[in-house]
A and B are shown apart, each in its own frame.
Chain A
Amino acid sequence: MKNKKDNLSYDEAISRLENLVNQLEEGEQGMDDLTKMVKEASDLVKVCKQKLKMTADEIKKAFDEE
């Protein structure tokens, strides 16, 4: 499960995240599902943040190399 998350692209990750947020907003889930979804969303947030950080680092590196 963890591996699957890591393999996601940023766009896939954010898309899934947004989907999850929408579902959460609707609040139609039971407590257990809700907790799982929050957990997954939090993980995806981490993944997205990590990817953004990597991207920012790479961009910085790329531009500063000139």
Chain B
Amino acid sequence: MQQQAISLLSLNELIKRTLDSNLSPTYWVIAEIGELRAGVRGHAYLDLIEKVDGNILAKIRGNIWSYTYQSISRNFESVTGTSLQGGMNIMALVTVQFHELYGISLVIKDVDPNFTLGERARKRQEIIGRLTNEGLMDLNKQYVLPVVSQKIAIISSITAAGYGDFINQLDQNSQEYKVHYRLFQAAMQGKDAIPQIIEAIHQIEEALIEENFDLLVIIRGGGAQTDLDCFDDYELAKTIANSSLPIITGIGHERDESIADLVAHTKLKTPTAVASFILSGFREFEDRLHRNLVGIERYVQTRLKTEESGLTDKTHILFNIFQNKLNKNNLLLDRYAQQAKRSALYKIDKERIKSDHLAQNLRKVVTRKLNKSEERIQQIEKTIDRLNPETLLLRGYTKTEKNGLPIHGQDLAKGDELVTYTKLTKITSVINKLEKNEKQEG
């Protein structure tokens, strides 16, 4: 049987009428946003899909008219902190629309952000659970951060404002610390972010053979607080956890920590916070050096003082010892001197007594001799006196001479002339008679 053919337009009008009469005006649909494109007049065009194990089981075009899109976006972002984008599971209030020229599509009237929020939280919790089970959550935290990180590998986008801030802060630090760094570029948002960041981490691992990086930093910032879902990705988190370097994140978002933050060694809010953290390591090290130097200086000063005072004490002790010795020796010398003096005086006294004795003896001898001499002289004087003719003459004796010599001892004869001396006269006589003197005989 041959059916009567109708025009395409008639068919499409039939489909439209059938749909309009059979479908409810609106449905709440759960689907994933396959792709979202912004249109010229502010409308948004998107594909809604449903996947199981990566296979797309259902797909339909959709659009959000400009006015509705503004309202939905505002509400969605305010609740979820992120914008509507591809790969996101949403629950949308839709109206099925069929257009004779453009075919079937969905007009999205509203999107429930709480569903996405819950969905994301569930997904996030699932990833965290998996990472925990695989022992990846704290793997990177096992590295000990270098005290001073001088060589840093950076993963960021060269155009990102956060990167510029980070570099400026490192290069223009007031202490003039020199920090070496090398940028490994990667998109930090959007669908390319995950593979590019993972690739950058691999590049750094390879570069480690030649360059000894101390640290890896993943920074992003200054942009909108949207498009951060990439940092909740399992593969990225796994790569971060397995890195050979400790990783610091400075992803720059205000909401809950991303999974990348959780698995990284240290998470900081912004790139400038990361730069400050790195520089603070330098500062702390320098402070510690300074403190050690001060400590050493203080110790040396104290030690010097102790030694100096010890030396002074020893000098005093030594001085006292010498002084005592000196005093003792002085006393000894004094004693010797006294002894010597006493001995000398004793000897002198002895000699004096001896000499006195000798002197007395001498005096005695001399006096005796003198007396003897005097006696002799007196004797002589007496003898002279006795022999003095004057004395004899005075006493009435006379002296007779013959030829000028005493008559005794001369031969006398009659007629000899004699001279006789008296006190007052000289008598010349002649011998008349010679007789013997009877009185003198016998």
Q: Which residues of A contact B (CB under 8 A)?
A: 10, 14, 17-18, 21, 24-25, 27-31, 34-35, 38, 41-42, 45, 48-49, 52, 55-56, 59, 63, 66
Specify which chain A residues have a CB less than 8 angstroms from the CB of B406 in the assembled complex. Answer: 27-30
A-B contact pairs, 12 of them (CB 8 A): A21-B384, A24-B384, A24-B387, A30-B405, A31-B389, A31-B399, A34-B387, A38-B388, A42-B381, A45-B377, A45-B381, A63-B363
User: Which residues of B are at the interface with A, using a C-beta cutoff of 8 A?
Assistant: 356, 359, 363, 366-367, 370, 373-374, 376-377, 380-381, 383-384, 387-390, 399, 401, 404-406, 408-409, 421
The B interface, classified by DSSP as helix, strand, loop or mixed, is: helix
Judge whether A21 and B380 touch: CB under 8 Å.
yes
Interface centre among A18, A28, A31 (most CB of B within 10 A): A31
Q: Chain B residues near A17: list those with CB within 8 A.
A: 380
User: Separation in Å of the A39 CB from the closest CB of chain B?
Assistant: 9
Contacts of B383 in A (CB 8 A): 21, 24-25
Distance from A17 Cβ to chain B, minimum over Cβ atoms (Å): 6
Residues of A within 8 Å of B366, CB to CB, are 59
Q: How far is the CB of B54 from chain A (nearest CB, A)?
A: 151
Contact A45 B388 (CB under 8 A): no
Report the minimal beta-carbon distance from A28 to chain B, rounded to whole angstroms.
7
**Which of B363, B387, B406, B409 has the most chain A CB atoms inside 10 A of its CB?**
B387
Closest to B388 in A: A38
User: Beyond the given A28-B405, A31-B421, A38-B384, could you list 6 further A-B residue pairs with CB under 8 A, ordered by the A residue number?
Assistant: A14-B373, A21-B380, A29-B405, A31-B401, A35-B389, A66-B356
Q: Identify the closest chain A residue to B376 (Cβ).
A: A14
What 4 pairs across the A-B complex have the smallest Cβ distances? Answer: A24-B387, A30-B404, A38-B388, A41-B384
Does B384 contact A42, Cβ atoms closer than 8 Å? yes
Q: How far is the CA of A34 from the CA of B405 in the complex (A)?
A: 10
Q: Which residues from A are CB-within-8-Å of B381?
A: 42, 45
Q: How far is the CB of B403 from chain A (nearest CB, A)?
A: 9
User: Which residues on B sit within 8 Å (CB–CB) of A21?
Assistant: 380, 383-384, 387
Known contacts A28-B406, A31-B421; is A45 also within 8 Å of B380 by CB? Answer: yes
Instruction: Tell me the minimal C-beta distance from A7 to chain B in angstroms.
Output: 19
Check A52/B374 contact, CB under 8 A, given A27-B406, A30-B406, A31-B399: yes
Q: Which residue of A lies closest to B393 (CB)?
A: A31
For residue B401, which residue of chain A has the nearest CB?
A30
A12 to B296, CA, bound (A): 110
Q: Give the chain B neighbours of A52 by CB distance below 8 A.
A: 370, 373-374, 377
Residue of B nearest to A45 (CB): B381
Q: How far is the CA of A41 from the CA of B381 in the complex (A)?
A: 8
**Closest chain A CB from B282 CB (angstroms):** 106
User: Chain B residues with Cβ under 8 A from A48's Cβ?
Assistant: 373, 377
Residues of A contacting B373 with CB < 8 Å?
10, 14, 48, 52
Q: What's the nearest-Cβ distance from chain B to residue A29, in Å?
A: 7
Least distance between A58 CB and chain B CB atoms (Å): 10
| Most A Cβ at <10 Å: residue of B356, B388, B408, B409 | B388
Which residues on B sit within 8 Å (CB–CB) of A30?
401, 404-406
Cα distance A63–B364 in the bound complex, in angstroms: 11
Query: With A56-B370, A59-B363 in contact, is A41–B380 under 8 Å at CB?
Result: yes
User: Measured between alpha carbons, how far is A30 from B384 in the docked complex, in Å?
Assistant: 16
B390 partner, pick from A14, A35, A66, beta carbons under 8 A: A35
Given A25-B383, A28-B405, A48-B377, A55 and B370 contact (CB-CB distance below 8 Å): yes
Chain A residues closer than 8 Å to B367, beta-carbon distance: 56, 59
Q: How far is the CA of A52 from the CA of B383 in the complex (A)?
A: 19
CB B398 to nearest CB in A, in angstroms, measures 10
- The CA of A39 and the CA of B246, in the complex, are separated in Å by 156
Measured between C-beta atoms, what is the minimum distance from A33 to chain B in Å? Answer: 9
**Nearest A residue (CB) for B384:** A41
Give the Cβ gap from A40 to chain B, nearest Cβ, in Å: 10
Contact A63 B359 (CB under 8 A): yes
- Alpha-carbon separation in the docked complex, A49 to B371 (Å): 11
Residues of A within 8 A of B408 (CB): 27
CB B400 to nearest CB in A, in angstroms, measures 10
Chain B positions within 8 Å of A38 at CB level = 384, 387-390
For the complex, what is the distance from the CA of A29 to the CA of B389, rounded to whole Å?
11
A27 surroundings in chain B (CB, below 8 A): 387, 406, 408
Residues on B with C-beta less than 8 A from A55 are 370
The reply to whether A59 and B405 contact each other, CB–CB distance below 8 Å, is: no
Report chain B residues within 8 Å CB of A41.
Answer: 380, 384
Contact A45 B384 (CB under 8 A): yes
Distance between B136 CB and nearest chain A CB, rounded to angstroms: 129
